[in-house]
Amino acid sequence: MTPRPLLVACCVVTLLAAPTVRRANAQATQTFEPMFAQPGKDVVWVPTPEVMVDLMLDLAGVTAADTVVDLGSGDGRMVIAAAKRGATARGVEYNPDMVRLSRERAYAAGVQTRATFVQGDMFEADISDATVMALFLLTDNMRRLQPKFLTLRPGTRIVSNTFAIPEWPPDDRRTRADCTAWCTALLWVVPAQVGGTWQISSGPRLVLDQHFQKFTGLLSGPVGSSPVQGGTIAGADITFTVGEATWRGRVEGRTIRGTRREGAATTSWEATRVER
């Protein structure tokens, strides 16, 4: 039997400790709540409106076959929405509280196996596996990331809320009328890099000057040179005209293979990169 003085002391200690335990439990279960426009490393946090999340993913044509990457993923809404479509999705976020919150939300949505979040710097992140980049960043951020975007596989889609990539015209855009702010989605398709000199197997050379998804140049042969006009690049597919002939091709590394059509005649052509 416990002596009475000792029993009283135990009760007093328990009563005194109870508020501390309750406070500790409350702190452990308290959920981080991000604040609109809260400061971040490179950009303040402003969430993409929910109606724009779907519009952006629709514009990029996201399917279960895609790997979607969101740089500066915030509370994880874009990544979670992509995962709900069956895509493999990854968010890169500098704020560790945001990362924890995003993981909790992914778990609550039942997509934790497809939606992952890493704490890190978006300018240092490896995005080489992305087939879709889904972003809500400032123009200056987009400018700094542009060199990385251009190294992505041809055909990779980049979709942005409101802010453009400087000097790189978007391939498409959509605006929602039922949205009050940040309501335009912009889409780019990463073009194959074709600028430089190409040797055509039949003899002539192509010298191309590329500006994102457009290019000009010269086709040079034994009898002189002709200008390359109307050059466009859609992912790995290129089209241009020389005189009355329309040339189409697909870039596969250092090789372009395609067809040349002039009037009713169609012939095949192949070119190998000589230099950039």
What b/e string do you get for 169-197 counting C-beta neighbours within 10 Å, with b at 16 or more? ebbeeeeeeeeeebbbbbbbbbbbebebb
Instruction: Pull the structure tokens for residue 221.
Output: 């042969």
Residue extents of the structural domains in the chain: 50-189, 196-275
What pLDDT is attached to residue 42? 63
CA separation for the pair 216, 211 (Å, rounded): 9
Would you say 162 and 138 are in contact if contact means Cβ atoms under 8 Å apart? no
Enclosing H/E stretch for 203: none
What pLDDT is attached to residue 12? 38
What pLDDT is attached to residue 26? 38
What b/e string do you get for 198-214 counting C-beta neighbours within 10 Å, with b at 16 or more? bebeeebbbbbebebbe
Enclosing H/E stretch for 105: helix 96-109
Beta bridge partners of 226: 219
**For 50-189, which CATH superfamily applies?**
Vaccinia Virus protein VP39 (3.40.50.150)
Would you say 57 and 69 are in contact if contact means Cβ atoms under 8 Å apart? no
Beta bridge partners of 115: 89
Q: Which residues of the chain have a pLDDT value below 50?
A: 1-29
Class of domain 196-275: mainly beta
- The amino acid that residue 238 corresponds to is I
31 Cβ contact list (under 8 Å, min separation 6): 101, 104
Side by side, which strands form the sheet with 88-93?
115-119, 88-93, 67-71, 132-135, 157-161, 184-189, 172-175
pLDDT digits 0-9 by tens, 94-130: 999 999 999 999 999 999 999 999 999 999 999 999 9
